[in-house]
């Protein structure tokens, strides 16, 4: 879904794309799809492709009791 159409200058236009599900996603803008205030139409844009992954990671921490030290733990995910 496209939303939040805006222009920040006479040559820069933005919009927000929200993917409907996980997986491969792409955006194509064909030539002549839009015009500016003076009637000039756009050229074809390069295809923008990425993989949507909204599934959060899970983590399991295991340790033997004899070596376990209890202290605050802050997970660092990269």
pLDDT of residue 67: 62
Residues 6 or more apart from 14 whose CB is under 8 A from it? Answer: 4, 5, 6, 7, 8
Residues 6 or more apart from 53 whose CB is under 8 A from it? Answer: 22
Q: Would the pLDDT of 31 be above 70?
A: yes
Counted domains in the chain: 1
Enter the pTM of the model.
0.49
Mean pLDDT (whole number) for 25-32: 90
Q: Give the residue among 2, 11, 1 at the shortest CA–CA distance from 35.
A: 11
- Is 51 a member of any domain? yes
- Is 72 a member of any domain? no
- Is 78 a member of any domain? no
- Is 28 a member of any domain? yes
């Amino acid at each position: 879904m496209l939303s939040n159409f805006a222009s920040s200058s006479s040559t820069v236009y933005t919009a927000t794309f929200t993917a409907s599900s996980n997986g491969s996603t792409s955006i194509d803008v064909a030539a002549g799809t839009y015009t500016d205030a003076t009637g000039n139409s756009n050229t074809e844009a390069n295809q923008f492709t990425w993989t949507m992954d909204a599934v959060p990671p899970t983590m399991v921490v295991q340790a033997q009791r004899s070596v376990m030290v209890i202290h605050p733990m802050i997970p660092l995910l990269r």
